[in-house]
Structure 1
């Protein structure tokens, strides 16, 4: 009998085969934690996924990291992705034009950076006017504030009800619950917090007007403005309105209740991985099949 993981991996292979046969593949986007590197870690120079990403880029394929990490400064993304950024910068197998095909989209769909070898941290911020979707440009600041206020109140209720040893973190486009130093949440606490926040925001008037994403980050819970459906679509737009049939998103969070990769299925082909090693395997499958196609 096939296990769930067996079926997941078989479907991943089927997706890769379909992209090689029917694509062509023009854009690959990745989640960060658990997809490119271990949870809470960074992309160090020895990470095996780096050579595979360089191989994709040498074929002219655009690459994006679409992450929930909502940093507004290039340095913070360099801290997480320095091994890959330095490899792109020093590579002689990739042309200067191809190097510009690497982007980072943070906060689900809120902050975009593009590779630039002359930038201090090898990334430059890209104005939203260039990549934001029309529906995103219609968002009102007061709606964003109202939604985050409602989400923050719901998260506070969960902290008090479950007596979590936690802090509430408020950002410009997100609000979350993070454990105090030395504390680790139980999975049930994380899931309950996600469900409660999602339900409260969904039932609000602003929650019906504004896209949002409530998700379990492994040892925290965040509610973000926007979601990865929009994030991948923004990457597609930046590179000339690439179609879903020519796009692949690789991520580890596809459970419909609390997985922030789930909605990417609405705009592209997807592969569901459980570790960075599986990401390497998927890319190897694609590169081997593409070489003989």
Structure 2
């Protein structure tokens, strides 16, 4: 029974593989042909690489025993992990994985925590750096000083320094703060092991319109929209305004409901989009789990800035790992425009994904 089920699942995965390959081919066709997948799923986005879904299903089936289950059909999480594995397989089989970028909260560490020396993802990230993969930490946290980023990522930064006495890993890791607004590079001799990167080394041409006046105009609209939501929905929060972001957050120990957070995000996004300020420069309004923030730019720009800093790495050679892909308001969602992505649900899954990268790439930890 399990063998028959596995064969049937693999046939389905092969059919979807062919749909993805056709979609990639039609996307490159200058005549504007519409793929079969686009007709079936009009909202489908870009695929930067083929996806070996049949092989990926066999790999995950060995871990999760999907085909051996009699009463529980393949779940959303089963399919999500199969897609992650397929993306990793496609990248590592052709030695195409040159850059991996990570979200912070819920991806590298639990929500509201920091990277600690004992966190298992640290040794995996260092292993990837040693085999030549560049690393980007693309976080919504928008600080202008290295000290605050070191506080969040100290476990990783200190571990790299302790294991790399010859400084071979120097400048192989960057921190992109505020989604896409502040870049620091790993420099073991610098204070807090991070050195700010000059804007000219990473800023994209599209960012030239992000002037001080335009940024402030957008944040003014966003702040007023947030204050209107606070009044209308009676939300017990404070407002925090930064140079490139504005948001609301509750007192420590207070939890806001998902419905209130999502209502605020959708309201604020609509009001900003309808304004002149929201049409001048891109922005990201998102639910951070227990707060709502509006940032200038988004993670697609953050990933592309990392690609530029490391010499122009292609989208098909970049993987972004994050937990927020559920809707257009989730702040990892936009990274799909800039590179391949992997959707994880916890730091434990990130560790499992990195183990897959090393294993499937034939590397020794």
Same-fold status (TM-score > 0.5): yes
Instruction: Write out aligned runs for 1:137-286 (5 A).
Output: 137-286=208-357
Aligned twin of 1:126? 197
Q: Confirm or deny that 1:39 pairs with 2:111.
A: yes
| Matching residue of 2:138 | 66
Using the TM superposition, give the Cα deviation of residue 256 of structure 1 relative to its aligned residue in structure 2, in angstroms: 2.4
**Aligned partners of 1:254, 1:95: CA distance in 2, in Å?**
39
Return 134-143 or 34-43, whichever deviates more.
134-143
Which residue number corresponds to residue 48 of structure 1?
Answer: 120
Higher relative contact order (CA 8 A, sep 6+): 1
Provide Cα deviations, 1:10-69, integer angstroms capped at 9, x if missing partner.
Answer: 100000000012341100000000000000000000000000000000001100100000
- Contact 1:15–1:271 at 8 Å: present in 2 too? yes
Superposed CA deviations along residues 231-264 of structure 1, whole A, max 9, x for unmatched, are 0000000000000111000000112232100011
Asked whether the 8 Å contact 1:43–1:83 carries over to 2, the reply is yes
Residues paired across the two proteins, number:
292
TM-score, scaled to structure 1: 0.97
Q: CA RMSD in A?
A: 1.3
> Structure 2-normalised TM-score?
0.78
Cα distance, 1:139 vs. partner? 1.9
The partner residue of 1:117 within 178, 184, 188 is 188
Is the CA contact 1:215–1:258 (under 8 Å) kept in the aligned structure 2? yes
Gaps of 5+ in 1: none
- In structure 2, stretches of 5+ residues that fail to align are 1-72
CA deviations over 1:194-244 (Å, ceiling 9, x no partner): 000000001111211210000000110000000000000000000000001
User: Residues 23 and 183 (structure 1 numbering): CA distance in 2 closer, same or farther, change over 3 Å?
Assistant: same
Counterpart CA distance in 2 for 1:138 and 1:188 is: 34
2:136–2:173 Cα contact (<8 Å) kept: yes
Compute the displacement of 1:100 (Å): 1.7
- Give the Cα–Cα distance (whole angstroms) in 2 for the partners of residues 22 and 256 of structure 1: 31
Gap change, CA 1:4 and 1:252, over 3 Å in 2: same
SS in structure 1 opposite 2:229?
helix
* Residue of structure 1 in register with 2:148 after alignment: 76
Match of 2:85 in 1: 13
Runs of 4+ in 1 over 4 A off after TM superposition: none
Deviation at 1:180, TM superposition (A): 2.2
Q: Secondary structure at the match of 1:183?
A: coil
Q: What do the CA deviations read for 1:170-202 (whole angstroms, capped 9, x no partner)? A: 000000011023321011111011000000001
Query: Highest Rg: 1 or 2?
Result: 2
| Matched-pair contact (CA < 8 Å) for 2:89–2:360 | yes
Q: Is the 8 A contact 1:88 1:99 kept in 2?
A: no
Hey, what's the Cα distance between the residues in 2 that align with 1:20 and 1:117?
A: 29
